[in-house]
Amino acid sequence: MFAHPETEFVRRLGRMTLHLAVLGLLLLFAPSITHAQISPDRPGFGDGSTLMNASRFQVETGYGFGMQEDRSTHSLGQLLLRYGLTDWLEARGGVGSYVVNETSVANGYSGTTLGAKASLVQGGPVSMGLIATTGLPTGTGMYDSDEVWQDVTLAFGVPIAGPLSFASNVGHQFTYSEGVKGETSITTTLLLSATERIGIGFGYAGFYSETLNRNFLEGGVTYRTARNTQLDVNWAYQIDGYASQLLLGLGIAHRF
């Protein structure tokens, strides 16, 4: 007999939650090493408002697991390369991921991106950056497309009180084809610096278009293991009733 989809979903959710809890304990009790500020654009849907320092290079990568009813996907790579050109401008290149679908949907490469992040306000309590990203038609499988897409996002960050701060993104993604509607995104995140090496975030991410709106609650924990290295655990759950989708991920960012 086959398990009911909802029962199987709960079982798999329990296993993944246990794995993430074990990893969190390992990170929490790992030995402390010298720390310094590092601000990767992970975890979560949003990007940070701060830039790479001039002449510094950073690699951000990870693994993502998605589960929707009795279907699941694995995202391998999530690779983003960042380089500080000046104190107010960084270059960005997304190598992307290879996505494995445990369904009839074809596996595929998500495609490459090129972009830049420019500083609008930096150096004070409030930070603001503008991010422009161009998606190239290099995907395969379910991501195979001749379309070039463009995303423009405003990223904002401000302290609230003590270790608490607030971050937000407002963005719009579109293609250059006539008649194809774009998608607007909004993220809001409350951040807590629990210790000098552990950060906790919780927030909302929404994606809005004329045909479909998607809404997520999301959260993550970051752990700085060394001066230039940071690990993360992240999750997101779709709350709009359109789909019972759960996203889980692990990642690392290293600055050179």
Q: Which domains does the chain have, with CATH numbers?
A: 5-255 (2.40.160.40)
- 8 A C-beta contact, residue 100 and residue 111: no
Strands 149-161 and 229-238, sheet pairing: unpaired
How far apart CA 155 and CA 46 sit, in angstroms, is 8
Give the ranges where the chain is alpha helix by DSSP (H): 5-28
What average pLDDT does this structure show over 5-30? 46
Lowest mean pLDDT among 13-27, 75-89, 137-151, 169-183: 13-27
Is pLDDT above 80 for 55?
yes
What the block records as the tokens of 23 is 């990893």
The per-residue pLDDT for 215 is 96
Q: 69 or 250: which carries more pLDDT confidence?
A: 250
Is pLDDT above 90 for 69?
no
How far apart CA 64 and CA 72 sit, in angstroms, is 11
Q: Taking the CA of residue 214 as centre, how many other CA atoms within 13 Å lie in the half-sphere pointing to its CB?
A: 15
- 8 A C-beta contact, residue 250 and residue 224: no
Lowest mean pLDDT among 35-39, 176-180, 189-193: 35-39
Q: Which residue in this structure is represented by tokens 């390992």?
A: 26
Cis ω for the linkage preceding 31 (within 30 of 0):
no
| 157 burial level (CB within 10 Å; 0-12, 13-18, 19+) | buried
Is pLDDT above 90 for 76?
yes
Question: Percentage of residues in the chain with pLDDT exceeding 90?
Answer: 73
What average pLDDT does this structure show over 169-180? 90
Is pLDDT above 50 for 29?
no
How far apart CA 242 and CA 223 sit, in angstroms, is 33
Q: 3-state DSSP: the chain helix, strand, coil percent, rounded to 5?
A: 10, 55, 35
> Residue 238: in which H helix or E strand, if any?
strand 229-238
Q: Please state, rounded to an integer, the average pLDDT across all residues of the chain.
A: 87
How open is the CA angle 111-108-145, to the nearest 5 degrees? 55
How far apart CA 59 and CA 47 sit, in angstroms, is 14
What the block records as the tokens of 198 is 């552990």
Report the largest interatomic distance among the alpha carbons of the chain, rounded to a whole angstrom: 62
Query: pLDDT tens digits, residue range 213-247?
Result: 999 999 999 999 999 999 999 999 999 877 789 99
pTM of the model: 0.85
The per-residue pLDDT for 64 is 97
The per-residue pLDDT for 6 is 45
**Which of the four pLDDT bands, split at 50, 70 and 90, describes residue 21?**
very low
- Distances in Å between the Cα of 124 and the Cα atoms of 60, 119, 121, 128, 156 are 25, 12, 8, 10, 12
